[in-house]
Each structure stands twice: as structure tokens, then as C-alpha cells.
Structure 1
Amino acid sequence: MPQLNPNPWFLIMLTSWMIFSLIIQPKLSSFTPTNSPSNKASITTKTSPWHWPWT
């Protein structure tokens, strides 16, 4: 079974994780969300219970 041989695939996996860890992840972490939830005012709404006709 060639898929159990880690020789060619281990280097590919290691390279992809290094690219993700060193290049892509810092770029994604530097983005800031434009609509942060802390700036929104919390609105509380009054809810009424539902009266089921069979109870």
C-alpha cells in the first residue's frame, strides 16, 4: 500500500504547515474586524410567553 509510506507525504505535510504557520497565519491575524460587537448598544426586548391552546 503506497499511501502508508510516509516518505513523500511527510515532507509535503511539513512544508504546508510551515507555510501556514509562518506566512498565512500572521497575515490573517493582523486583520481587524470592521464591525466589532463591542461598539453596538445592547437592546433588551420584552418578550411575552406563548400561551398554547391545549394547556
Structure 2
Amino acid sequence: MTTPQHCPGFEQFKDLKSFTCQCPECGKDNEIFSDEFDKTHKCTSCGKPIEFSKCTGAK
């Protein structure tokens, strides 16, 4: 039996990009990852919906 050199789930996440978008309501920065674009998002501060497809600035 061999020990993996990294976490077994690593491969599916190694190419993820993070994006930060400012909430249009309260101004708080919110972060999502590129595999979450098809999900709905709410601000972590005020709970209002955020449209990340309109944001720029991939890290």
C-alpha cells in the first residue's frame, strides 16, 4: 500500500480561481470560486443577492 503524495481530492480543485465582488447594497467584499458560478450567492454581511457574473478581478 502506498501513501498518496497529496490529498486525493486535490486534482479536481487545483485549477480553481477565486473572484471577489463588492456587495452592491452594503459594500462588503465577498469571495467565490470558479466552480460556484452556476450557484446563487448572497452577501455574507447583509444577505442580499450578489451577481458575480458582473464582477471582475480573478486572483
TM band (smaller chain):
under 0.3
TM-score when scaled to structure 1? 0.24
Which one has more relative contact order, counting CA pairs under 8 Å at least 6 apart? Answer: 2
TM-score when scaled to structure 2? 0.24
Pick the structure with more strand per residue: 2
